[in-house]
Chains A and B, each alone.
Chain A
């Protein structure tokens, strides 16, 4: 896929990418020992929302502006190579990171290892390369200590371009060794991948059209044998498949006969995407906006977390009018620009590989069956009873902490206070004696959903302060939040707690959490909350356990 991006030049850039323009301004503090003007000239073309303040060239990194939204360390690490060992340089760098607001995103570049290739011409020893190799590794490890730190991988992008990534002339004239091409690649990576991944929620699903989008031609007219896939269409399908592997769900909305579409997906020799890659296939003559809204309901997340790809501008305009919060991407018939635009679409990149993709996919399909069951049952409780739900609550469970951190960052709808705790915050709370982290797991006859809920609680004498409540949207609608809070409230009562305060913040998408809170949080007395929960849970058929009770 990088090969395609390698063809980008600043001339064809504006066609191929989605220039970012919105109201949200980000103030970037660039700390540099490497000329940054070339990088910024590209960055500012790609994203008009960034404003820059940059330091003078100073290897001691004295000028750091604490009041920034993002820190960009743009470093010529060669300047330190002869003076310090890699580990001492990292230790020193940490003393500089103390000066910044570590709750903000931090970007630091590494260095291409193979640029010192001439070394090997004269001797077998490769000291500089070893130094760089070790230093790059230590920078990666530093990410464990700073959850908001990301490495700008010059080494990787340079190796994809090859030796042309190094520009000896630029280095001689301006101490800037990066070629124009590498600079453009890095600017693209920072703008469309790193910054969005660190500052905005990731998209959850892509809804794609078929005719003239995934291939050239109209299935209903040209037929199975008449449609044409260009090399770029194949690459587009591969890109979509890779996105699916990284946790983005796929769906089709196409004006076609459903049987033709299934046949195409099952049998076409050039197709990379197959029927099972799509969570939903809506092949019909209904309005696409209607199809998408119905999918969003079945996915159980908001349409603003979805991207719609279509070649027909009228279709895109219609969907946008009906669903203003949806993201859209215009496809072109040849597929070339579609694939570029998709690969450079922000909010699709994630910092860590999503380990729970399979689980989520299964859960969404199980959810469809749950909805069928719900339709057959007359009331909510008898439907819930048919599911045989088991809810288990864990206290300070170390093996859940990574998931707890992930949920804080991914959950948008049922995220009560939007704290988005860092990994360090979570660890700290898990170890502190006056903090409790309760995690909630859910399983039913259709699926084991794993950890789907979290409560962060701080104890202070007779007061329990609920700092945060998170629930995965997959689990909503089954009163799991009520049932788990009730068992926790009982536990708090046994610890002598009388008052409960619940922190909450209004965000762009967390209405479901706030609505829930309004129903149960009628007073701060623990007994009142317990009363409300009991009312909501009359005849609740789910089984709720403490983790240790189940083991006994």
Chain B
């Protein structure tokens, strides 16, 4: 699951590798609100889950994504 999330982020943010430091909204200016929603929609489609508006706003980095996807899959 983590690997798939990494792949999606790497592809959308056009990163070279899954670099944890760059998979953070504060550290990476390229991760803007548009890219953020693009990542969210791709993950939603991949795992067949749905995030609410506040969840979308609260996701700050890749570890938040791991945790929330895990929660939703197991819910």
Contacts and interface: CB of A to CB of B under 8 A. Distances in A.
Contact of B45 (A11, A168, A172, A173): A11
A174 interface: yes
B34 A37 contact: yes
B66 interface: no
B17 interface: no
Interface residues of B, number: 17
A173 B53 contact: yes
B42 A169 contact: no
B45 A41 contact: no
A180 B53 contact: no
B37 A9 contact: no
B38 A37 contact: yes
Contacts of B34: 35, 37-38, 174
A9 B45 contact: yes
Contacts of A38: 34, 37-38, 41
A257 B42 CA distance: 50
A91 interface: no
Nearest to A174: B37
Nearest to A180: B41
B46 A173 contact: no
Given A169-B52, A169-B53, A176 B37 contact: yes
A11 B53 contact: no
A170 interface: yes
B13 to A, nearest CB: 12
B60 to A, nearest CB: 14
A168 B56 CA distance: 13
Nearest to B55: A169
A174 B39 CA distance: 13
A503 interface: no
Residue of B35, B45, B52, B57 with highest tally of chain A CB at under 10 A: B45
Given A11-B45, A180-B45, A169 B51 contact: yes
B42 A10 contact: yes
Interface in B23-45: 33-38, 41-42, 44-45
B46 to A, nearest CB: 7
B56 A173 contact: yes
A170 B41 CA distance: 9
Contacts of B42: 10
A169 B56 contact: yes
A460 B45 CA distance: 64
Residue of A10, A35, A38, A169 with highest tally of chain B CB at under 10 A: A169
A173 B38 contact: no
Nearest to A167: B41
B37 A11 contact: no
A44 to B, nearest CB: 12
Residue of B38, B46, B52, B57 with highest tally of chain A CB at under 10 A: B38
Interface in A115-145: none
Interface string A4-25: 0000011100000000000000
A279 to B, nearest CB: 43
Contacts of A41: 12, 38
Interface string A142-180: 000000000000000000000000001110111010001
Contacts of A10: 42, 45
A28 B56 CA distance: 31
A180 B53 CA distance: 15
Interface in A27-51: 35, 37-38, 41
Residue of A35, A168, A170, A173 with highest tally of chain B CB at under 10 A: A173
23 contacts: A9-B45, A10-B45, A37-B34, A37-B35, A38-B41, A41-B12, A41-B38, A169-B53, A169-B56, A170-B41, A172-B53, A173-B33, A173-B36, A173-B37, A173-B53, A173-B57, A174-B33, A174-B34, A174-B36, A174-B37, A176-B37, A180-B41, A180-B45
Interface of B: 12, 33-38, 41-42, 44-46, 51-53, 56-57
Given A10-B42, A180-B44, 15 more contacts: A10-B45, A11-B46, A37-B34, A38-B38, A38-B41, A41-B12, A168-B53, A169-B52, A170-B37, A172-B53, A173-B36, A173-B56, A176-B37, A180-B41, A180-B45
